[in-house]
Chains A and B, each alone.
Chain A
């Protein structure tokens, strides 16, 4: 086990104090499901772990005036069981329910999943279609960044070394859906994920607004803007789904060769996943 220093931060104030003190060497750790593995893999060396696992104030899910707030240290298990999330953000609820496995989900936090910024991070596409805001805090002050601008590339975000994610906020969006394709059901890093938000005119069935986000199919989670344009102004029929499946090819850039699936396989399955995620968002089912 490579060497590291360790600091306990039981409050937000002590955490941002420690971040300011240790600068580039600082590494926040809560559940450790990424950080401890990265230490073992020597991706993190000679760092100072700042243990934020016990900051209770960042573990809350609340709903007020149409707005949902999720503390960064909320564990995935809480999200997977939350009635608030089930009702107001079904896409995030679905992602939490297919995340890792029940024991891991008692350690892993949503702040860690987003902060780790993996191209396949399962909570990120749902937060993108929810238009979530990432709330950051440092000794210099508070900052808000839209999730859609937060991730620069795989593993890199706009978070400064002295900042920590405190919570996420977004407006209630019941008409969202999420689907994950992995090689198995448990502990699997996604081959591809799709989250969708859809708003249709009740009478005509024409799509008024749409957001699609995809994970695992580009160097970072991406918005499916070309596919979104196809949906808006059209009905959710086979013709639209076919055209969206073609358009989404310009949104994604799966690498080849890759560990979990070939680029051509990802390109083949993404249209199917987009269709299912949009149907889940619009109708609550995809069959």
Chain B
């Protein structure tokens, strides 16, 4: 076991941390930075509940030793809102009733955010394919797809205003 000094920029804030070689980024976010929005689901990169953004790209934080993330600019579900103002994706998950038990929601919202940054004008197939690795055991997928569609529409309209 060795110790490593790393710098993480999380939700705009810079953290200098000393991490053990076998410490997962997921656990650092949850247990040391108290960002518990990111969920520990399967721990096997199957379910998508631990998805975060590295830059604009989605990644599962249960797969990443924290030492690997040195220098990364990370956004977790807590960092998507602008102060008290929720992002369009977050708001539409609420408006469309796309939340049931809520456990998969942070991962879904983060992956949907990555989706819209990559493709601001997605069709339904694109959304279904993009979210295919995020599992919702309440099976509320239809409302989530609707939420992403409405959020995309809103973001397009806001951009044109």
Measured CB to CB, the residues of A under 8 A from B are 1-6, 8, 31-33, 36-37, 39-40, 49, 51, 53, 100-104, 106-107, 185-187
Contacts and interface: CB of A to CB of B under 8 A. Distances in A.
Interface residues on B, range: 20 to 34
Given A6-B21, A100-B133, A106 B59 contact: yes
B46 A187 contact: yes
B129 interface: yes
B44 A40 contact: yes
Contacts of B58: 102-103, 106
Q: Is the interface of B mostly helix, strand, loop or mixed?
A: mixed
Q: Is the interface of A mostly helix, strand, loop or mixed?
A: loop
B133 A6 contact: no
A31 B63 contact: yes
Contacts of B62: 36
Given A1-B23, A53-B68, A33 B63 contact: yes
A53 B71 CA distance: 14
B65 A6 contact: yes
Nearest to B23: A1
A6 B114 CA distance: 29
Contacts of A187: 46, 132-133
A107 B22 contact: no
Contacts of B48: 101, 103
A2 B44 CA distance: 15
Nearest to A8: B67
A185 B27 CA distance: 29
Nearest to A32: B63
Interface string B38-53: 0000011110100100
A193 to B, nearest CB: 18
A278 to B, nearest CB: 26
Contact of B22 (A1, A31, A101, A102): A1
Contact of B2 (A2, A5, A31): A5
Given A3-B1, A6-B65, A49-B65, A104 B45 contact: yes
18 contacts: A1-B24, A1-B27, A3-B1, A5-B1, A5-B21, A6-B4, A6-B22, A33-B63, A36-B63, A36-B64, A51-B65, A101-B134, A102-B58, A102-B130, A103-B51, A104-B133, A107-B63, A186-B133
With a 10 A CB-CB cut-off, give which of A40, A103, A106 has the most chain B CB atoms.
Answer: A103
B9 interface: no
A4 B132 contact: no
Contacts of B57: 106
